[in-house]
Amino acid sequence: MNIAIIDYKSGNISSVINSFKAVCISKNIKIKIEVTSDLKKISNSDKVILPGQGSFKNCTESLQKIKGLKDTLNEFAIINKKPLLGICVGMQMFADFGFEEIETKGLGWIPGSVKKIDNKNNQYKLPHIGWNELLFASESKLFKNVKEKSHVYFVHSYKFMPNDERFISSKINYSEEIVASVEKDNLFGTQFHPEKSDTVGLKIIENFIEL
């Protein structure tokens, strides 16, 4: 099996690479992990990881700077329906629109938008940084053998709001309810960072690898 981690200059991906490698070593899983922006390699891979750090606007712009990448990802995830995991802004980009800095068009894979978390008149700090408890909203393959209320690591100020609740697989409580993960057929997304979420995060990565 080949897993492609998309390198589109959207921030630091070394932790993502390290975590996938560590899971493969500890579970003795033989797969090839490639960090790439090569369209052919992406098309030929079995699974794709779409990381993303910084702003929605920067990430979507960086994605568009690589000619053909958006179409290749679309073909991979929507037409060929192969498993894709978006992490943090990588997940947020599944939305139709983002409202960070200015209104920006997303990939439009899961209808909805990305808006700033309500800090309730500065009663809550933003970014929402740290460990929060997962509250499951629907059954998810990513959370196989993961307990409800497990802690995972977040760092974000914006939230993904899918129009259709059915695609929300978990939420967390902060200043308001926030979507922690989404799942739609072969599309998986986490607002939190599984690569930084200790043993729980590694389990989630293992679940994705073993889909």
Partner 1 sequence: MLKNRIIPCLDVKNGRVVKGINFVNLRDAGDPVEQAKIYSKSGADEICFLDITATNEKREIIYDVIKRTSENCFVPLTVGGGVKSLEDINKLLISGADKVSINTAAVNDKDLIKKSSKKFGSQCIVVAIDAKQKNDNWEIYTHGGRTETGIDAIDFAKKMEDNGAGELLITSMDRDGTQKGYDIKLISEIEKNVNIPIIASGGVGNLEHLFEGVKYGKASAILAASIFHYGKHSIKEAKQYLDSKGIPVRI
Q: Which residues does the annotation mark as catalytic?
A: 88, 193, 195
Contact 85, 188 (CB under 8 A): yes
What's the rounded Cα separation, in Å, for the pair 135 and 150?
A: 8
Please identify, among the stretches 28-36, 66-74, 76-84, 148-156, the one whose residues bind partner 1 according to the rule CB under 8 A.
148-156
Nearer to partner 1, 18 or 80 (CB): 18
State the SS3 of 81-114: CCCEEEECHHHHCCCCEECCCCCEECCCCCCEEE
Which helix (H) or strand (E) segment holds residue 136: the answer is strand 135-136
Q: Per-residue x/- mask for partner 1, residues 10 to 29, rule CB under 8 A?
A: -xx-xx--xx-xx-------
Candidate residues 29, 65, 80, 129; the one interacting with partner 1 per rule CB under 8 A: 129
Q: What is the largest CA-CA distance in the chain?
A: 50
What's the min distance (Å) between Cβ of 23 and partner 1?
Answer: 10
Using CB under 8 A, list all residues that contact partner 1.
11-12, 14-15, 18-19, 21-22, 53-55, 58, 119, 122, 125-133, 151, 153-157, 172-174, 195-199, 201-202
